[in-house]
Homo-oligomer: A and B are copies of this chain.
Amino acid sequence: MRAITVKPGVAGSARLATVDDPRPAAGQALLATIEVGICGTDHEILAGGHGEAPRGSPWLIPGHECLARVLEAPEGCGLRPGQLVAPTVRRPCGQPRCYPCAHDHPDMCISLQYTERGIQGAHGYQCERFAEWPRYLVPLPDGFADFGVLMEPTSVVTKAIEEAARVQRARLAWEPQRALVTGAGPVGLLAAMLLRLRHLDVTVYDRDAADHPRAQAVRALGAAYVCSADAELAQVAGADGVDWIVECTGARALVFGALQALAPAGVLCLLGVSGAGVSLEVPADAINLGLVLRNGLVFGSVNASREAFAQAGQSLAVAEANWPGWLAGLVSVRVPPADVASAIGGGPERIKTAVRWAG
């Protein structure tokens, strides 16, 4: 079958290759890939900065944002041929001490010995077909054909949003009103969507001009968009601060700016992954004092459990009912597998690019 392969650590090594067909083990399902989204992690892998091939393989099949269709499924597993599914990404580490992995939460793995399909130690989904255990496949309604590829990024954001709500409810009678999302990429837009589904007053802050398709997508949700050229983050937050901030850029100035933009008893979720290991002069005492005297809370979040995938599916269904066509509009560019170079290129008008494997 056809697959994209990369040599981890080697920039520009991505190829459309012919590889062996998958051979499902007893109990596994066989899936046909429909399309696979490309995110910042993929860009890093394709640039040679991240990724790890499975043991014994010189190359890695990348791709972890996948919409697929069941070709064959074991009897009694609840999946039927033809059904749409989204596969999860991270697999449990199996280490005896790792209670999160033992509790179906490899997203919270404490040994860091997990594998991730398409990223770390396991092949991903940028290929025509793959085999998987049914427990790692989340069934989707047929209506998800046009936007089901957003399941994985939505699951990551859902995990963070649900975690923030649970954590805040665990420490106070929380009634948030104002939310701020830094970054208007796919993760920021999906965060804004989930926060709007919670009826919050949402502002998205990024560098794009106000007429950029991403800014338009923000406004289509009934959220506000502020371009960083027009206002400092502190001005957007105002004197009262913001109850709920989701940081989706990893830009160090925004991360530490967001810390200071929090309202008393507010929560800041960090979803953005920082790049180069650069230091920054920060108002260390003011940050500490603000967090302590105002009961601030900050947490980082990565990956998603199967539970978060299931919740993401529910949220996508509600979002599609509220804003028909909005989700499909996020997948702004679709390319054939042969067009790997343009798929990793990106362009100013793009929101999410996906590689299309089957109709």
Contact = CB atoms under 8 A, between A and B. Distances in A.
Interface of A: 99-100, 102-103, 105, 107-112, 163, 166-167, 169-175, 250, 252, 255-256, 263-265, 270-286, 288-302
A292 B276 CA distance: 15
Interface centre among A109, A110, A111, A291 (most CB of B within 10 A): A110
Copies held by the complex: 2
Q: Is the interface of A mostly helix, strand, loop or mixed?
A: mixed
Nearest to A286: B277
Interface centre among A171, A272, A302 (most CB of B within 10 A): A171
A105 B172 contact: yes
A126 B119 CA distance: 62
A295 B288 contact: no
Contact of A275 (B252, B285, B294): B285
Given A171-B167, A282-B279, A284-B279, A299 B289 contact: no
15 contacts: A107-B295, A108-B264, A110-B265, A163-B170, A163-B171, A255-B284, A270-B292, A274-B286, A275-B285, A276-B285, A281-B281, A292-B300, A294-B300, A295-B300, A296-B300
A298 B297 contact: yes
A105 B299 contact: no
Contacts of A280: 281-282, 284-285
A279 B284 CA distance: 5
Contact of A170 (B167, B281, B284): B167
A107 B196 CA distance: 29
